[in-house]
Structure 1
Amino acid sequence: MNTNIQTTANSNLSTDKKGVINLIKIGLANLILLVFAFAMLYPLYWLFISAFKTNQDFFSNPYSFPTHWVLENITRAWELAGLGKAMINSTIVTFAALILTIFLGALTAFVLSRFNFRLKGPLMAFFVLGMLIPIHSTLVPLFIMMNKIGILDTYWALILPYTAFELPLAIFIIAAYMTSLPKEIEEAALIDGTGYWGTFFRIILPLSVPAMATVAILAFLRYWNEFAFALVFINDQALKTLPLALTIFSDGFGTDYSLTMAAMAVAVIPTIIIYLIFQEQIMKGMVAGSVKG
């Protein structure tokens, strides 16, 4: 009798210890996530409060709220940098490159993931190898090539390189996702008389939306914030993108930090909106394809 009571007590004590350990683990995990979230959000907080400061206030109180909220910083930055035209240019270049990247990436991934052929392995290795190329080492040969074919100072001077350098990652992500899709769906469509193009557009492409959303947000961040290619390939003021427009507030003698922060705050808003819209699809795409079944 006493033995049974002691065993039950020990079992309850062991259960209590496990519960306490689990609570500690959950608490530590939440604390780590909280610290990580703070580290990610604080730069945005600092950017947006700095956008409404004077230059003097920016240096004297860099981490606190503005002493006087200067709302004119936004309108002045918008007018001086021509942010309206620059945002239109960035939007055209970004979304044109996005459409090409997603379509060509999905089409290539469909072939590599759903068909077996002799050169499948070497082709996949070739595309993966593309991710190892230092992008900026290609600036000079690309400039010479574009100058010869006459597409410098056009939207295509940015759209084509953006698409080419993002395709390897797009193919890798989308192909990994498409591989996890059951082949029975495709076989059933073929039996019903749907061709390969119909299978791709009506079945595989809609099912691959999470992976394509992941590619889209990663590509959007690269295209929207890209500076080096735009600086080298675009000299026409009417075609300047947002990163180039922001440089107007800095010269060899100094930087107007209040207007720079205001312009950067405006430029980062589309990125935040895009991420909030696609965040659920992005999370699905990041883990999809990692487990087959």
Structure 2
Amino acid sequence: MMELASPEAQRTARRKGFRKGLSGFGKLVLTAYAVLTLYPLYWLFISAFKTNEDFFRHPYALPQVWMKENIFRAWELGKMGRAMMNSTLVTMIAVVLTLVLGVLAGYVLSRFEFRFKKLVMGLFLVGMLIPIHSTLVPLFLMMKKIGLLDTYGALILPYTAFELPITIFLAIGFMASIPREIEEAAMMDGSGWWRIFGKIIFPICTPIVATITILAFLRFWNDFSFALVFINSQSLKTLPLSLSLFSDGFGTDYSLTMGAMAIAVIPTIVIYLILQEQIMKGMVAGSIKG
């Protein structure tokens, strides 16, 4: 005859069953969230191959006829080759400047004590609170006076300036978790501050560098307002400006617009897939000290 389980064993079995059910529910919620997050991307790509009529009649279904011509026509009519080159050039230079200046400033502010340090950090904090679009008119007037309007610099410099505050604070948060004993050991071996930063600290900061890179890339790549105000020449227009060509005051060609948007979003997806592992590490940076 089987022996009845003890009360303690029954409680343990119930706890295990509860944890298993909770884990299964969590996976279900995460799966649903993933579907909701990825569906707009799926909808964008299937819409890129539809006719305008198919787009309105069957907005959520697969294309009845796959219109590959939409991609080629959008590329040609929107002059997207030149626009993509402009966006790539402006974004890459601004991202590099943001990383170099932001990570160096974060290192100094996280590792050194000096006079007016709190004031400097307060100024960067104020920079995070300024509404970016409220500066468009003053920046326009300033750039007009110094001759920067309608140049790459008209986008690169504001992009870098407005991204620096968040970059610096992310870098400070991550570097604060790096043990100072590493630097002390390197100094005992005769290393200077520049060598310590370049050979030790910066490689350790790879996760937060990846996070900063993707955040800055998304902001710069998708910016429309600054490019619209500061750029007039067709040869300097970026991708967001080229997308606006498919819409006017009388209507929008949705088949070409979706085709152009599908082209524009591909670099963002590629960059994220390359950096996703480091981004996940960077998002939890500073939460664990050690």
Shorter-chain TM-score range: over 0.9
Give per-residue Cα distances to partners, 1:37-65, cap 9 Å, x unaligned.
01110000000000000000000000000
Give per-residue Cα distances to partners, 1:210-236, cap 9 Å, x unaligned.
111100000000000000000000000
User: How far, CA to CA, are the matches of 1:229 and 1:272 in structure 2?
Assistant: 23
Does the C-alpha gap of structure 1 residues 125 and 6 become closer, same or farther in structure 2, counting only changes over 3 Å? Answer: farther
Give per-residue Cα distances to partners, 1:129-185, cap 9 Å, x unaligned.
211110000000000000000011110000000000000000000111111111111
Which residue in the other structure is 2:39 paired with?
Answer: 42
Which residue in the other structure is 1:272 paired with?
Answer: 269
- The one-letter amino acid paired with 2:120 is L
2:21 paired residue among 20, 24, 27: 24
- The one-letter amino acid paired with 1:113 is S
Asked if 1:250 is matched to 2:247, the reply is yes
Task: Tell me the CA shift for residue 125 of structure 1.
Answer: 2.1
User: How far, CA to CA, are the matches of 1:122 and 1:7 in structure 2?
Assistant: 70
Which residue in the other structure is 2:217 paired with?
Answer: 220
1:162 paired residue among 159, 167, 175: 159
- The one-letter amino acid paired with 2:7 is N
User: How far, CA to CA, are the matches of 1:126 and 1:32 in structure 2?
Assistant: 41
Which residue in the other structure is 1:146 paired with?
Answer: 143
User: How far, CA to CA, are the matches of 2:139 and 2:81 in structure 1?
Assistant: 29
Which residue in the other structure is 1:184 paired with?
Answer: 181
Which residue in the other structure is 1:136 paired with?
Answer: 133
User: How far, CA to CA, are the matches of 1:97 and 1:235 in structure 2?
Assistant: 20
Give per-residue Cα distances to partners, 1:84-105, cap 9 Å, x unaligned.
0000000000000000000000
Structure 1 length as normaliser, TM-score? 0.96
**Post-superposition, which runs of at least 4 consecutive aligned residues in structure 1 deviate over 6 A?**
none
Give per-residue Cα distances to partners, 1:186-208, cap 9 Å, x unaligned.
11222222111111111111111
SS at structure 1 position matched to 2:6: helix
Which residue in the other structure is 2:7 paired with?
Answer: 10
Task: Tell me the CA shift for residue 8 of structure 1.
Answer: 4.8
1:62 paired residue among 59, 64, 74: 59
User: How far, CA to CA, are the matches of 2:170 and 2:4 in structure 1?
Assistant: 53
1:90 paired residue among 87, 91, 95: 87
User: How far, CA to CA, are the matches of 1:268 and 1:95 in structure 2?
Assistant: 16
Q: Identify the range of structure 1 (201-210 vs 211-220) with the bigger mean alpha-carbon deviation.
A: 201-210
Which residue in the other structure is 1:126 paired with?
Answer: 123
- The one-letter amino acid paired with 2:201 is I
Structure 1 unmatched ranges of 5 or more: none
RMSD of aligned residue pairs (Cα, Å): 1.3
Task: Tell me the CA shift for residue 7 of structure 1.
Answer: 9.0
User: How far, CA to CA, are the matches of 1:209 and 1:133 in structure 2?
Assistant: 28
Which residue in the other structure is 2:190 paired with?
Answer: 193
1:209 paired residue among 206, 209, 220: 206
- The one-letter amino acid paired with 2:246 is F
SS at structure 2 position matched to 1:91: helix
Asked if 1:99 is matched to 2:87, the reply is no
User: How far, CA to CA, are the matches of 2:98 and 2:120 in structure 1?
Assistant: 18
User: How far, CA to CA, are the matches of 2:127 and 2:288 in structure 1?
Assistant: 25
User: How far, CA to CA, are the matches of 2:5 and 2:59 in structure 1?
Assistant: 61
Structure 2 unmatched ranges of 5 or more: none
Task: Tell me the CA shift for residue 9 of structure 1.
Answer: 2.1
Identity of aligned residues (%): 62
Give per-residue Cα distances to partners, 1:227-254, cap 9 Å, x unaligned.
0000000000000000000001000100
User: How far, CA to CA, are the matches of 1:191 and 1:116 in structure 2?
Assistant: 20
Q: Identify the range of structure 1 (241-250 vs 189-198) with the bigger mean alpha-carbon deviation.
A: 189-198
Structure 2 length as normaliser, TM-score? 0.97
Structure 1 residues 69-88: aligned runs within 5 Å: 69-88=66-85
Task: Tell me the CA shift for residue 292 of structure 1.
Answer: 1.1
